[in-house]
Structure 1
Amino acid sequence: MDHMCKSVRLHTKMIRVEAHKIAYMALPKAACSSVKKALAMIDPAVDVESLPETKYEYDKWHSVYPTQKFRTYRWQRNIEKDWFGFAVVRDPVKRLMACYTNRVVERGELKNSRNLKNGTYNLPVEPDPDFFFQNIDTYRKAASSIKHHAMHTWLFTGPDLSVFTKVYTTEKMADLVRDVQDWTNAPFEIGRENTSSMRLTLDDLKPETVKALTPWLCLEYGFLINHYSKRPAQLQAF
């Protein structure tokens, strides 16, 4: 595991397991609930049994390890050696679709938006996927939860993924499990937290909706070119 011992620049709000010298930069809708729970289970600083109950079971892991946006000055100021620092990224289409299926449909979070309740933004709180994605920029302004879960990857990971010891895709979580087990010489398991029961793909959206999302998605695929080199065929048409 010598390759894991390169210097890792750590964000002050990066999730850290001091006992094992592990650091994790969480990305919303990229298995972060599952990874946070797994880390909490091996973190001696977390008393899992005493955590308060939450409406959604997986929310407790976010109370232990809040997800924070990247800040350049913190990143540059905090450098640790001999830590295993990692991030998990997700296919941009799947991550964006999950923002709708999980936050809008399953959790109904638009109903709690003060800006929508008071009429600051005249938008439905139960939009169909086409209306939601065609108006996603306004929904981001109207609801902080949507903004948080539909922001570009680099706003959470930072602009340079090479600073991490390893970057995993959600399709390669088994590799993360193996590497953390090797690093800690202890059991480490990642389950599936906060999974959406509803599935949504670009094929389910109208062509004009896909066209509206294409600029945002192309920026994401450009940033993640080393991890998701093949863009969906639907994006090639625009």
Structure 2
Amino acid sequence: TAAQQNDWFLHHLSQSAGDLPGRGLVWLNTHRKRARQSLPQLPALNREQEAWRYTSIEGLLQQRFIPASTDIGAFKTLDINPWLLSGLDAYRLVFVNGRCLPLPAGFTDLPDDAVLSSLRNALSTHPEQLSNWFEQNGSRAENLFTTLNSALINDGMLLHIGKDVVLEKPIEILYLNLGRNHSLLVQPRNLVVLESGAGATLIERYVGGDPSSGFHNHLTEIQLSGGASLEHYRL
């Protein structure tokens, strides 16, 4: 029911809203506030809607998840090599429980006029660009899950490739879940922007590093200008 979905949303909103980056950015605060306030206008998700005809969320709504910690100190010495695609020469970002790990510079050292960054860092280094891109998508259709992601924007990926820049190597994004016996709520927010004539191959991989359950409420927005080409894989 709508009431059940609202209760589920508000529970996770109250649990997760404490430590969010970019609190000094007016546009980001507005985006988050707009998402929170839109909840009463959202239709309840049910099988009468075409997009949800074959998907029931009743079991999910019975569960309560714990927000993943923003402290990644315990994972800074983690050996990620066993989880990466073997033998692949690629640019990379690695997220553990939704937070981006610091990696050697070569993993994200793209050519000039191309950026691969965690969203959390980009809020400090590219705030004006992010503001423009988020505003362009502000009127997009929302549902319970995209709204929760928007209300709690925390970390994720920014990929921006400039005009006529074609990446010769693929990009591997690894999402590693290490709940350690906790059911975590993980919400990466990704923005992929390719200018006209740009090209890239993006591989997103989801790996459970232990048997813990969790909810991965992932949202990726992709903007391709004329003549741009993106090969996108999710594994």
Q: Structure 2 length normalisation: TM-score?
A: 0.24
Tell which has more relative contact order, 1 or 2 (C-alpha 8 A, sep 6+): 1
Relative to its length, the structure with more helix (as a share) is 1
TM norm structure 1: 0.24
The structure richer in strand per residue is 2
